[in-house]
């Protein structure tokens, strides 16, 4: 039976999140209904709200959910009612990339995560008037008291209290993307130099992962002093305030031969250019930011040199079923202190949380439902 619940609905591109009564469809055989305890706010949610993802409106967004299974479909035998779970992105499980353990490169990734409906075209969410609402955002749409997801999206966790679940919610995307691109893709050796451009959730998660890998020196670049201060606490050997000094020149002072590994999270073309110019021979750059240039500000970044590698990362090339439990263990050991990034808000304060995130006041807002 379908469930009547409440969700933060965006009615038009750039509009506010407004909590409305919705109906979430009954789970199909491979689907699971989850009561959401908490959901992180990611910049991809904000980009989708602003119409930059291509999702139809009205829509329910949210893709860093954590909660408790309420009902599992007939074929979803890996979880059962009462299980505590973290939600991540959706993948088909059948294509060659999924079968080889690379679901972030699923051949159906866009269809499963950004179409707003099931692959068969049926909606998962309807509004109070019975009209379809775009759902299934990253296979979940978890800015809602209940979310319908697929069994493959779920990672069972042994967190016994809601407060810990709220800290684990960002592992489903932002933390996974940052830590994953370092540990799964860049794979720095001890003593390799590392720089991250942008000290938000993704950038600081990448920095923490580089610290875990014993990269050195580690450099963080940002324009918010409080974030640079936190970066130092989390393992940065040097920080660069890009408001007051030219980042590329300062990085070359720190690492004259150029850096071995870089992560770019801002999506700004001028920062991407700085990141490429910071690389040494054989250096690697992972780009994780959504394009963010204002009209007329885009430049053509320098092309990488011979032997250098520049690539876009999708979810840190992570297999959530393996990588999220790994990250949770590291968090509990104190090696990945994600709690230092989080500020919690009541779900009703979602628009305030988004504003605080955009202003730089908060690194990772997490909504409590």
Question: Residue 217: which residues within 8 A CB-CB, separation 6 or more?
Answer: 193, 194, 237, 238, 254, 255
How does residue 1 score in pLDDT terms, banded at 50, 70 and 90?
A: confident
DSSP assigned state of 93: S
DSSP assigned state of 134: B
pLDDT score for 294: 76
Q: Is the pLDDT of residue 91 over 90?
A: yes
Using H for helix, E for strand and C for coil, what is the string for 264-285?
ECCCCHHHHHHHHHHEEEEEEE
Q: What is the mean pLDDT of residues 51-64?
A: 95
| CB 251, CB 276: distance < 8 Å | no
pLDDT score for 289: 87
| Enclosing H/E stretch for 164 | helix 162-168
pLDDT score for 260: 98
Distances (CA, A) of 178 to 2, 70, 141, 203, 327: 36, 30, 21, 6, 11
State how far the Cα of 43 lies from the Cα of 59, in Å rounded to an integer.
Answer: 16
Going from N- to C-terminal start, the domains of the chain cover 3-172+337-368, 176-315
pLDDT score for 110: 95
Q: Output the six-digit token pair for 212.
A: 């875990």
Distance of CA 38 to the CA centre of its chain: 15
DSSP strand pairing (194-197 vs 259-264) = parallel
Q: What is the mean pLDDT of residues 237-243?
A: 96
What digits encode the pLDDT tens for the residues 324-349?
Answer: 999 999 999 999 999 999 999 999 99
Question: Residue 361: which residues within 8 A CB-CB, separation 6 or more?
Answer: none
Tokens 């959706």: give the residue: 90
Strands (E), the chain: 3-10, 17-24, 31-40, 59-60, 65-72, 84-87, 125-127, 132-133, 146-150, 154-156, 194-197, 218-222, 238-241, 259-264, 279-287, 309-312, 342-346, 364-368
pLDDT score for 298: 80
Q: Output the six-digit token pair for 213.
A: 């890998």
Cβ burial of 147 (10 Å; 0-12, 13-18, 19+) is buried
What digits encode the pLDDT tens for the residues 159-199?
Answer: 989 999 999 999 999 999 999 999 999 999 999 999 999 99
pLDDT averaged over the chain?
Answer: 95
Strand partners of residue 147: 34
Q: Is the pLDDT of residue 63 over 80?
A: yes
Tokens 């300062």: give the residue: 250
Cis bond upstream, residue 217 (ω within 30) = yes
State how far the Cα of 192 lies from the Cα of 187, in Å rounded to an integer.
Answer: 10
pLDDT score for 185: 98
Q: Is the pLDDT of residue 284 over 90?
A: yes
Q: Is the pLDDT of residue 23 over 90?
A: yes
How does residue 293 score in pLDDT terms, banded at 50, 70 and 90?
A: confident
How does residue 51 score in pLDDT terms, banded at 50, 70 and 90?
A: very high
Q: Is the pLDDT of residue 92 over 80?
A: yes
What digits encode the pLDDT tens for the residues 103-137?
Answer: 999 999 999 999 999 999 999 999 999 999 999 99
Q: What is 176-315's CATH superfamily?
A: NAD(P)-binding Rossmann-like Domain (3.40.50.720)
Percent of the chain with pLDDT over 70: 100
How does residue 290 score in pLDDT terms, banded at 50, 70 and 90?
A: confident
The listed CATH number (3.90.180.10, 3.30.70.100, 3.30.70.380, 2.60.40.60) that belongs to domain 3-172+337-368: 3.90.180.10
């Amino acid at each position: 039976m379908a469930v009547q619940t409440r969700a933060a609905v965006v009615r038009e591109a750039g509009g506010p999140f407004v909590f409305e009564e919705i109906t979430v469809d009954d789970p199909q055989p491979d689907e699971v209904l989850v009561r959401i305890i908490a959901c992180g706010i990611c910049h991809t949610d904000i980009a989708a709200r602003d119409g930059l993802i291509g999702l139809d409106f009205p829509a329910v967004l949210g893709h860093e959910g954590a909660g408790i299974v309420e009902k599992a479909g007939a074929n979803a035998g890996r979880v059962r009612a009462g299980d505590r779970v973290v939600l991540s992105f959706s993948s088909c499980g059948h294509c060659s990339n999924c079968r080889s353990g690379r679901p972030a490169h699923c051949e159906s990734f866009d269809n499963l995560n950004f179409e707003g409906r099931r692959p068969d075209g049926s909606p998962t969410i309807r509004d109070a008037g019975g009209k379809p609402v775009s759902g299934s955002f990253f296979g979940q749409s978890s800015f809602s008291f209940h979310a319908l997801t697929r069994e493959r999206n779920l990672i069972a966790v042994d967190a016994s209290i809601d407060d810990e679940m709220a800290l684990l919610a960002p592992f489903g995307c932002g933390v996974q993307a940052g830590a994953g691109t370092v540990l799964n893709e860049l794979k720095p050796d001890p003593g390799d130099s590392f720089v991250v451009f942008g000290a938000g959730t993704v950038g600081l998660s990448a920095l923490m992962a580089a610290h875990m890998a014993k990269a050195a020196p580690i450099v963080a670049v940002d324009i918010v002093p409080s974030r640079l201060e936190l970066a130092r606490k989390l393992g940065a050997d040097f920080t660069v305030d890009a408001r007051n000094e030219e980042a590329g020149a300062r990085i070359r002072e720190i690492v004259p031969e150029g850096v071995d590994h870089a992560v770019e999270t801002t999506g700004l073309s001028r920062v991407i250019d700085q990141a490429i110019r910071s690389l040494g021979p054989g250096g690697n750059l992972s780009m994780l930011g959504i394009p963010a240039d204002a009209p007329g500000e885009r430049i053509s970044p320098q092309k990488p040199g011979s032997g250098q590698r520049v690539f876009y990362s999708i979810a840190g090339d992570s297999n959530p079923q393996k990588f999220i439990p790994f990250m949770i263990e590291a968090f509990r050991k104190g090696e990945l202190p994600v709690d230092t990034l989080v500020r919690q808000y009541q779900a009703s304060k979602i628009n305030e949380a988004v504003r605080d995130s955009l202003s730089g006041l908060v690194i990772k807002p997490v909504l409590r439902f």
